[in-house]
Structure 1
Amino acid sequence: MSDNAFSIAVVGAGMASAPHLAGLLDLRERVNVRHVVARSEARARVFADALPHARVTLDLDTALADPHVNAVLLLTPPNTHLELGAKIAAAGKHLLVEKPVDVTTARARELADICDRHGVVAATVLQHRTRDASRKLRQLLDARALGDIHSASVAVPWWRPQSYYDEPGRGTLARDGGGVLMTQAIHTLDLFLWLAGCPDEVFAYAITSHAHRMECEDTVAGVMRYGSGCIASLHASTAVYPGFDERIEISGANGSATLSGGRLVVHYLDGSVIEEGEAASLGSGANPMAFSHDAHRAVMANFIDAATRGAEPVASLRSALTVQLLIDALIASSANRRPMPVKPGSPT
Structure 2
Amino acid sequence: MINIAIIGTGAISSSHVKGYLQFKDECKIVALCDIYPDKAHQKAKDYQLDVDIYDDYKELLNRPDIDLVSVCTPPYTHAEISIAAMNAGTHVLVEKPMASSLEECHAMNEAAKKNKRILSVVAQNRFTNPMMKLKQVLDTKLMGPIVHTQVDSYWWRGYSYYDLWWRGTWEKEGGGCTLNHAVHHIDIFQWMNGMPAEVTAVASNASHDNAEVEDISIAIMKYDNGALAQITSSVIHHGEEQQLIFQGKNARVSAPWKVKASKSKENGFPEDDPQLAEQIQQVYDRLPSISYEGHTGQIYDVLLAVNGKKDVLIDGKQGQQTLELITAIYQAANTGKTVKLPLTKEDPFFTREGILTHAKHFYEKKNVVENFSDNTITTGGKYE
Distance (Å, rounded) in 2 between the aligned partners of 1:210 and 1:100: 23
TM-score of the pair, normalised by structure 1: 0.87
Q: Once the 2 structures are TM-superposed, how far is the Cα of residue 257 of structure 1 from its aligned partner? A: 0.8
SS of alignment partner, residue 309 of structure 1:
coil
Task: Report if the CA contact (8 A) 2:16-2:70 is conserved.
Answer: no
Give the 3 Å change call, closer, same or farther, for CA 27–342 of structure 1 in structure 2. Answer: same
Q: Aligned letter for 2:193?
A: A
Give the aligned residue type for 2:314: A
Q: Counterpart of 2:182 in 1: which secondary structure?
A: helix
- For 1:37, the aligned partner's letter is C
Equivalences for 1:306-317 in 2 at 5 Å? 306-317=305-316
Determine if contact 1:74/1:81 at 8 Å carries over to the other structure: yes
Q: Is the 8 A contact 2:169 2:212 kept in 1?
A: yes
Instruction: Provide the C-alpha distance between the structure 2 equivalents of 1:72 and 1:211, rounded to a whole number of angstroms.
Output: 34
Counterpart for residue 338 of structure 2: 339
Out of 67, 73, 89, the residue aligned to residue 70 of structure 1 is 67
SS of residue matched to 1:99: coil
Between 1:57-66 and 1:85-94, the stretch displaced more is 57-66
Amino acid at match of 2:5: A
The within-5 A match list for 1:245-284 is 245-260=241-256, 264-269=257-262, 270-271=273-274, 272-273=277-278, 274=281
Residue in structure 1 matched with residue 5 of structure 2 by the alignment: 9
2:357 corresponding residue in structure 1: none
Say whether 1:320 aligns with 2:313: no
Counterpart CA distance in 1 for 2:122 and 2:24 is 19
Report Cα offsets for 1:315-342 as digits up to 9, x if no partner. 1122111111111111111222221112
> What are the within-5 Å matches in structure 2 for residues 37-48 of structure 1?
37-48=33-44
Q: Secondary structure at the match of 2:201?
A: strand
Alignment-derived partner of residue 269 in structure 2: none
Give the CA deviation at 1:233. Answer: 1.4
For 1:159, the equivalent position in structure 2 comes to 156
Match of residue 55 from structure 1: 52
User: Does residue 141 of structure 1 match 2:138?
Assistant: yes
The match for 1:235 is: 232
User: Displacement of 1:310 after TM fit?
Assistant: 4.4
Q: What letter is aligned with 1:257?
A: V
Work out the CA distance in 2 between the residues paired with 1:333 and 1:79.
22
For the pair shown, which has the larger CA radius of gyration, 1 or 2? Answer: 2
What residue is the counterpart of 2:78 in the other structure? 81
CA distance in 2: counterparts of 1:322 and 1:70, whole angstroms: 26
Residues in 2 aligned to 1:65 and 1:211: alpha-carbon distance in whole angstroms: 41
Residue of 12, 27, 34 corresponding to 1:31 = 27
Residue matched to 1:91: 88
1:215 to partner: Cα distance = 0.3
> Which one of 120, 127, 134 corresponds to residue 130 of structure 1?
127
Which of 214, 219, 224 in structure 2 is aligned with 1:217?
A: 214
Residue identity opposite 2:301 in structure 1: N
Q: What is the match of residue 283 of structure 1? A: none
Once the 2 structures are TM-superposed, how far is the Cα of residue 46 of structure 1 from its aligned partner? 2.1
* Equivalent residues of 1:97, 1:125 under 8 A apart: yes
Q: 1:221 to 1:315 in 2, by over 3 A?
A: same
| Distance (Å, rounded) in 1 between the aligned partners of 2:233 and 2:55 | 38
Q: CA deviation at 1:52?
A: 4.2
How far the C-alpha of 1:211 sits from its partner, in A, is 4.5
Matched to 2:155, the amino acid is W
105-114 or 56-65, which deviates more: 56-65
| Unaligned ranges ≥5, structure 1 | 278-292
Output the CA distance in 1 between the equivalents of 2:106 and 2:125: 22
| Residues 83, 211 of structure 1: alpha-carbon distance in 2 compared, 3 angstrom cutoff | closer
Q: Please, what is the CA RMSD of the aligned residues? A: 2.0
Give aligned pairs, total: 322
Change (3 A) 1:175 1:243: farther
- Structure 1: which 4+ aligned runs deviate by more than 4 Å? none
Query: Using the alignment, how far apart are the partners of 2:66 and 2:334 within structure 1?
Result: 45
- Contact 1:250 / 1:257 at 8 angstroms: preserved in 2? yes
Tell me, in whole angstroms, the C-alpha distance in 2 between the residues paired with 1:267 and 1:42. 53
> Equivalents in 1 of 2:64, 2:164: separation in Å?
37
2:127 and 2:293 in contact (8 A); partners too: no
Cα distance in 1 for partners of 2:41, 2:285 equals 40
Quick check: 266-275 or 198-207, which moved more?
266-275
- SS of structure 1 residue aligned to 2:41: helix
Provide structure 2 residue ranges, at least 5 long, that are not aligned to the other structure. 263-272, 287-291, 345-384
Q: Report the CA distance shift for 1:60/1:157 in structure 2 as closer, same or farther (over 3 A).
A: closer
The SS at the match of 2:220 is: strand
The residue that corresponds to 1:183 in the other structure is: 180
